[in-house]
Amino acid sequence: MRNRSFQDKSGSAMVAAIFVAVVIGLWMAVAMQSSYTEYKMSSRYLDMQNALNIAESGLEEAVRAFQEDDWTGWTSYSNGYYVTGDADTLINPESLDLFSGSVGTLTVFIDDTANNPVIAAEGSIVGADGNELSRQVLVELSTSSLFANGLLARNAVVMNGNNIVVDSYDSRNGDYTPGTNSNRNSNGNVGSLSFDNSDVSLNNADIYGFIAVGGTFDVDASFHRNGTLGEWGDSGGTKDLTRVTEDFTADLPPVEEPSYGSWTDVSVVNGGSSSIDGPLTLGSPTDTSPAEYVLDEIKLSGNGDDLVIDGPVTLYVRNGVSISGKGSIQITSNGSLELYSDDDVSITGNGSAYGLQNETKKPEKFMVYNSDTTEGATTVKVAGNGKAYVVVYAPNSDVQLSGGGSSGTVHGAIVGYDITLSGGYEFHYDEALADLNGDAGLNINYWRELKGVGERLTFGTPATLNSEIGAL
């Protein structure tokens, strides 16, 4: 009897051991299945991320090609360009393992027929399990104007003295109207890319617009008690800090000197002299393209020393510009002038009838570009008692607006290294210049991933793709 009892106990222990082994085995099977499922999910997630990375890398390459106008390796079609191929080859020239061993394919199409170019990109990945995954992104771009702000300095903005006013108007609605609000606005934007808040010294100026700074803005350090930041109608001394933007950035590319090797030397039409130091008329109302001249200098100061621009004209001045006394540059109602120099430019006048006379009252009809590459080595100066309609792009030059008296004003936009206003000058930013074509980079109007029903593109032929994009 004792032997049977011992055998019964041994059998029960064996059954229990088998049960435990089965339970452990089942648990291990479940755990392994769970681990494998998590592995597959992780791999799929990684592949999906890699596919998106490929698509976005394709977008970056498209933007680079668009900005540099470099379409090497791209195929042109009626609406733009496209490229397709191995992702490593197209966007990874150093052959880094960007995609964790997966095989990636990139396809990008650019439609640049409209004002706002459209880029469509697809990144595809063949994962370790052999399955292909893809993600698609659609982006619309717009070009930025160099003159989206009224006064923009790479370094300092300084306003000295009383009665300095900055505001805005829109020349598409006529001339600035100081006596009424019909064309006088509060978008006189003042910007500095400097991170040092001491570089923005506005003192007693009245800024009817907005302020943007590269660092932080210290209102007490920048303004005196009587200075104003706000809208027209705000009481003097108002400081509306909702009109301040910090951590401001902007792309201000250097001026590219025009290729003037084939231009006409002005001596041909100026009695053999390569310098303009007396009366001269350039351009014709019947010209359909700019008359292009290269010259040594412009120096006008006497009564009747007028450079008259009577059609579209482009000048490259090697040794600078000086307009003073009773000399003047006169742009007729038919004229426009683009002036390039890498030396000092000074346009002043002794009275409202001298200096700069722009009959069009359109600032974009007189564009001044300074191509000097040394920060602060050259000066662009606009001064006098008249109304100057001008646009200045001189990212490495000190720009001075000074000596205005009671009637001195500048209408337009200014980009400089340091910008200084003094002597009761008024500056009226022309908002129409924000739409002037410029090379200030590209803005992304919208970015969206195409993943909804009916959104996915086939990325077939360019014509098919364009029709699909147009239907979105």
Q: Which two tokens stand for residue 442?
A: 């590209």
In a domain, 273, yes or no: no
The answer to whether position 414 is within a domain reads: yes
Reported as half-sphere exposure (CB side, CA atoms, 13 A), residue 302 has a value of: 6
Structural domains counted in the chain:
2
- Tell me if 269 is assigned to some domain: no
In terms of domains, do 354 and 384 share one?
yes
Co-location of 247 and 359 in the same domain: yes
**165 found inside a domain:** yes
Residue 272 has φ and ψ, to the nearest 5°, of: 90, -5
348 shares its domain with 407:
yes
Q: What is the pLDDT of residue 95?
A: 42
Give the whole-angstrom CA distance, residue 240 versus residue 210. 9
pLDDT per residue as tens digits for the range 426-469: 999 999 999 886 666 677 788 889 887 778 888 877 777 767 77
24 in a domain, yes or no? yes
Does some domain include residue 319? no
Residue 207 and residue 187 share a domain: yes
Indicate whether 155 and 187 sit together in one domain. yes
Residue 107 and residue 31 share a domain: yes
Do 232 and 170 lie in one domain? The reply is yes
Give the model's pLDDT for residue 93: 45
Cα torsion 108, 112, 113, 117: sign: positive
Same-domain pairing of 30 and 86: yes
Question: Between the CA of residue 189 and those of 236, 291, 456, what are the distances in Å?
Answer: 18, 34, 42
By the 8 A CB rule, do 144 and 404 touch? no
Task: Tell whether 294 is covered by a domain.
Answer: no
5 in any annotated domain: no
DSSP state of 185: B
Same domain, 248 and 363: yes
Distance of CA 447 to the CA centre of its chain: 18
Query: How many whole angstroms separate alpha carbon 296 and alpha carbon 314?
Result: 14
Domain containing 57 equals: 11-144+442-471
* Pairwise CA distance, residues 302 & 323, whole Å: 9
Give the C-alpha distances (Å, rounded to integers) separating 335 from 128, 168, 287, 341.
Answer: 67, 24, 10, 20
Q: Does 158 lie in the same domain as 59? A: no
- The structure tokens listed for 145 are 């104007």
184 in the same domain as 217? yes
Q: For residues 163-198, b (16+ Cβ closer than 10 Å) or e, as one string? A: ebbbbbbbbeeeebeeeeeebbbbbbbbbbbbeebe
In this structure, are 216 and 79 located in the same domain? no
pLDDT tens sequence across 391-403: 999 999 999 998 6
* pLDDT tens digits in sequence order for the chain, 472 residues long: 455 555 565 667 676 777 677 777 676 766 566 665 565 556 677 788 888 888 888 888 888 888 788 898 899 988 889 888 887 777 654 444 444 555 688 889 988 876 788 899 998 888 767 778 888 999 988 777 889 899 999 999 999 988 899 999 999 999 998 877 789 999 999 999 998 878 899 999 999 999 999 998 998 889 988 899 999 889 888 999 999 999 888 888 899 889 999 999 999 999 999 999 999 999 999 999 999 999 999 999 988 899 999 999 999 999 999 999 889 999 999 999 999 999 999 998 765 556 788 999 999 999 999 999 999 999 999 987 778 999 999 999 999 998 655 567 899 999 999 999 987 789 999 999 998 866 666 777 888 898 877 788 888 777 777 677 766 5
Token output for 240: 């509306």
